């Protein structure tokens, strides 16, 4: 009789553990058949690079100077700074990095041909023609010094490209994350 009681108790305990275990698995697995392991655990690294709310990292412009919409910006020797959320690198297709550039021209040229290899464009005619500039990259900041006087007073647009128009360079963070989206802003030059 003692052996029968022992087996009955052991069987009841094992059966209870099995039922609890199955119940937990069923509860935890509900709705996961269409999710990856990362999504189910909340540590997904995929998806849109602009979704910072889910913990995904993105590489974006955080501020500019002059500010978007600024007026009265000097036409002569204007300086533009573009600040990113992480250290910025201008990567060439050969694997090298551009840390500075100098443009000898003082007149505007076609954005698609004369400035096709550049990652930052400055234009007064919606990027048909671009204004020459000298630039440098340091930590999180690209600094542009306009080469020569801006052609006229009026509205100028600045665009930071993800990839140069000729495909020879890209804007990346120091950890290799590509710029999330092209960034543009505008300012008005003084008379």
Q: In angstroms, rounded to a whole number, what is the distance separating the alpha carbons of residues 121 and 31?
A: 48
Predicted local distance difference test score (pLDDT) of residue 55: 43
What SS3 state is found at 18? helix
At 182, which CATH number? 2.60.40.1220
Tell me phi and psi for residue 189, to 5 degrees: -80, 150
With tokens 């050969």, the residue in question is 94
78 in any annotated domain:
yes
Give the number of domains in the chain: 1
Q: Which domain holds residue 126?
A: 59-189
Which letter does DSSP use for residue 108 in this model?
-
SS3 99: coil
Residue 4 lies in a domain: no
Residues of the chain with pLDDT under 70: 1, 4-8, 10-56, 148
- Give the tens place of pLDDT for each residue, 123-162: 999 999 998 888 999 999 999 988 767 777 789 999 999 9
């Amino acid at each position: 009789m003692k052996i029968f009681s022992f087996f009955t108790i052991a069987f009841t305990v094992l059966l209870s553990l099995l039922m609890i275990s199955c119940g937990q698995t069923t509860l935890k697995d509900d709705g996961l058949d269409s999710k990856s392991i990362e999504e189910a655990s909340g540590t997904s690294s995929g998806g849109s690079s602009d979704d910072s709310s889910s913990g995904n990292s993105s590489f974006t412009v955080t501020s500019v100077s002059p500010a978007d919409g600024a007026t009265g910006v000097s036409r002569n020797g204007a300086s533009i700074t573009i600040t990113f959320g992480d250290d910025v690198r201008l990567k060439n297709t050969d694997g090298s990095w551009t840390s500075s550039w100098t443009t000898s021209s003082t007149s505007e040229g076609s954005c698609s041909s004369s400035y096709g290899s550049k990652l930052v464009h400055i234009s007064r005619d919606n990027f048909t023609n671009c204004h020459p500039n000298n630039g440098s990259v340091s930590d999180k900041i690209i600094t542009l010094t306009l080469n020569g006087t801006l052609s006229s007073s009026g509205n100028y647009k600045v665009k930071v490209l993800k990839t140069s128009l000729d495909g020879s360079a890209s804007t990346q963070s120091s950890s290799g994350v590509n710029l999330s989206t092209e960034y543009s802003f505008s300012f008005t030059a003084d008379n």
